[in-house]
């Protein structure tokens, strides 16, 4: 079990390294920087600074939506590819087992061979799907942050209007 976990961790490390060079990951890094800055300086920013960050985050949200849909497309494509391989190879594997052992005892024999043959595809599919859901959750959080920014900018405007009246 430890060997399998280590192999998966190595695959994930390679996957993450390759994804880090993609535009979506670079955009997410920029989002993280802005969100961290907002968390640190929330009470210190004036309305203009908050509005500027709101616009940047809204633009990044636009790009991340495309990236997230691409992650989902790749994940679904890998699922389909594994189904095609299973369909194409099932009869061949059954014949190979029959020639070696005389008959197929149960479908698990065939399934085991197919799992071995599609292990790398399955791992990639899992990693893409995990990244898809991770980014999807972050995108929802980003939408919430943008909503907070809109509310905070409106609050700052009210403060300015009240100060002009007084």
| Locus of tokens 């300015």 | 160
Banded pLDDT at 60 (limits 50, 70, 90): very high
The phi and psi torsions of 45 (rounded to 5 degrees) equal: -80, 140
Q: Does the pTM exceed 0.85?
A: no
The domain limits of the chain are 2-165
- 138, 28 in Cβ contact below 8 A? yes
Distance CA 6, CA 71 (A): 24
Query: What is the DSSP annotation of 134-151?
Result: HHHHHHHHHHHHHHHHHH
CA 94 vs CA 83, 84, 106, 110, 117: distances in Å: 16, 16, 10, 6, 14
- More confident of the two residues 21 and 124: 124
Q: Is the pLDDT of residue 40 over 90?
A: yes
- 27, 140 in Cβ contact below 8 A? no
CA 48 vs CA 25, 35, 118, 158: distances in Å: 27, 16, 53, 14
Q: Is the pLDDT of residue 3 over 90?
A: no
CA 73 vs CA 20, 51, 65, 67, 128: distances in Å: 18, 33, 12, 10, 9
pLDDT tens by residue, 132-160 = 999 999 999 999 999 999 999 999 899 88
Instruction: Determine the angle formed by the axes of helices 23-41 and 47-101, rounding to 10 degrees.
Output: 140
Banded pLDDT at 1 (limits 50, 70, 90): low
Distance CA 107, CA 85 (A): 16
Banded pLDDT at 21 (limits 50, 70, 90): confident
State the average pLDDT for the chain. 91
What pLDDT shows up at residue 148?
Answer: 94
| Token digits of residue 159 | 């403060």
| Locus of tokens 């299973």 | 86
């Amino acid at each position: 079990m430890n060997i399998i976990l280590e192999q998966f961790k190595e695959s994930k490390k390679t996957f993450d390294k390759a994804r880090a060079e993609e535009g979506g990951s670079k955009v997410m890094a920029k989002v993280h920087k802005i969100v961290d800055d907002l968390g640190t300086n929330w009470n210190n920013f004036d309305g203009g600074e908050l509005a500027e960050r709101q616009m940047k985050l809204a633009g990044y949200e636009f790009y991340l939506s495309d990236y997230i849909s691409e992650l989902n497309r790749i994940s679904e494509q890998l699922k389909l590819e594994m189904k095609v391989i299973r369909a194409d190879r099932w009869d061949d594997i059954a014949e190979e087992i029959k020639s070696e052992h005389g008959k197929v005892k149960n479908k698990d024999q065939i399934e085991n061979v197919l799992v071995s043959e599609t292990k790398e595809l399955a791992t990639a599919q899992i990693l893409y799907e995990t990244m898809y859901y991770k980014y999807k959750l972050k995108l929802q959080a980003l939408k919430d942050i943008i909503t907070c920014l809109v509310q905070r900018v409106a609050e700052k405007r009210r403060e300015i209007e009240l100060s002009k009246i007084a």
